[in-house]
Amino acid sequence: MLADESSFVCSAAKSWLVGLRRSLASNVEEFAGDNVRAFATAADDARAVIAFMHNWQVPVGYETAIPCTPSGEDSYDLLISPQSGLQVPVQMVSTTEGREFTVTVTNGGPDTGAGTVTVTADTADGGPVLADLDGDGTFTDLSPFVFPFTNLAPGANSSRTVMFTIGEPNVRTQISWTATVVADPPEADPNPLNNSVSATTNVRTTGGGGGGQGGNPN
Ligand SMILES: [Ca+2]
């Protein structure tokens, strides 16, 4: 701490103490036996101290240190947002042309997290859903699609966007999607209730004005 800074802090601390003493100026009687007035005065002083602490922060460097001992075990709340954690086409045309899905996992903290996101895609007719996980332009990966991740900072997101298609084109069907995240180790995530979301894609056999997000396929 620089000399000027130290002087400033001492001055600020003195001013703070003077203000606190003024707030207690009414405490002129000692509490003894049935001296109710002294008791009431002490209660008023306690309220004055609380009000003073609300209105005046303790000067920098004079705070009481708060001991914080790490538990030694990481804990982090991984979650997939029900609003945006799993984005899939609401409807698509049943061709071999690929579409995208995006899965996003968030680390709610407090520690840095690791784990695995698994996306499953099951069709109503039992046909396969194929993805291009390595981005080489060919759809060769069968559901489930697994995305491990490490070193996800508290408050950070990790997203994967993948092209996919259905294995049997020209079939009217429905794809049921589920994305689930599991921490590594699983017990590091204290809240499993926000770890999974589901979505649906309606697959139609002709274009017919469809293919966009949010439309009604029927
Ligand atoms: Ca969780």
Instruction: Give pLDDT tens digits for 3-38.
Output: 444 455 556 666 666 666 665 655 555 556 666 777
Q: Is this structure's pTM higher than 0.85?
A: no
Judged by DSSP in three states, 11 sits in helix
156 CA to centre of ligand 1 in angstroms: 14
Judged by DSSP in three states, 133 sits in coil
Same domain, 41 and 83: no
108 CA to centre of ligand 1 in angstroms: 8
Same domain, 114 and 173: yes
Q: Average pLDDT for residues 183-191, to the nearest whole number?
A: 96
Question: Are the beta carbons of 129 and 164 closer than 8 angstroms?
Answer: yes
Name residue, tokens 């990481």: 74
Tokens matching residue 5? 């800074």
36-59 pLDDT, tens digit each: 777 777 788 888 888 888 888 777
Tokens matching residue 125? 């007719």
Identify the domain containing residue 13 by its residue range.
3-55
129 CA to centre of ligand 1 in angstroms: 27
113 CA to centre of ligand 1 in angstroms: 11
Same domain, 123 and 191: yes
12 CA to centre of ligand 1 in angstroms: 45
165 CA to centre of ligand 1 in angstroms: 30
183 CA to centre of ligand 1 in angstroms: 8
Please give the mean pLDDT across all residues of the chain. Answer: 83
145 CA to centre of ligand 1 in angstroms: 20
120 CA to centre of ligand 1 in angstroms: 18
Question: Rounded to the nearest 5°, which phi and psi values hold at 183?
Answer: -75, 160
Tokens matching residue 22? 């003024």
82 CA to centre of ligand 1 in angstroms: 12
Question: Are the beta carbons of 80 and 105 closer than 8 angstroms?
Answer: yes
119 CA to centre of ligand 1 in angstroms: 16
DSSP-assigned beta bridge partners for residue 201: 175
211 CA to centre of ligand 1 in angstroms: 33
pLDDT band at 72 (very low <50, low <70, confident <90, very high): confident
Same domain, 45 and 88: no
In a domain, 192, yes or no: yes
Domain count within the chain: 2
More confident residue, 24 or 108: 108
Say if residue 216's pLDDT is above 70: no
Say if residue 209's pLDDT is above 50: no
194 CA to centre of ligand 1 in angstroms: 5
CATH of residue 138's domain is 2.60.40.10
In a domain, 214, yes or no: no
Question: Rounded to the nearest 5°, which phi and psi values hold at 61?
Answer: 95, -10
Please count the CA atoms within 13 angstroms of the CA of 152 that sit on its side-chain side. 27
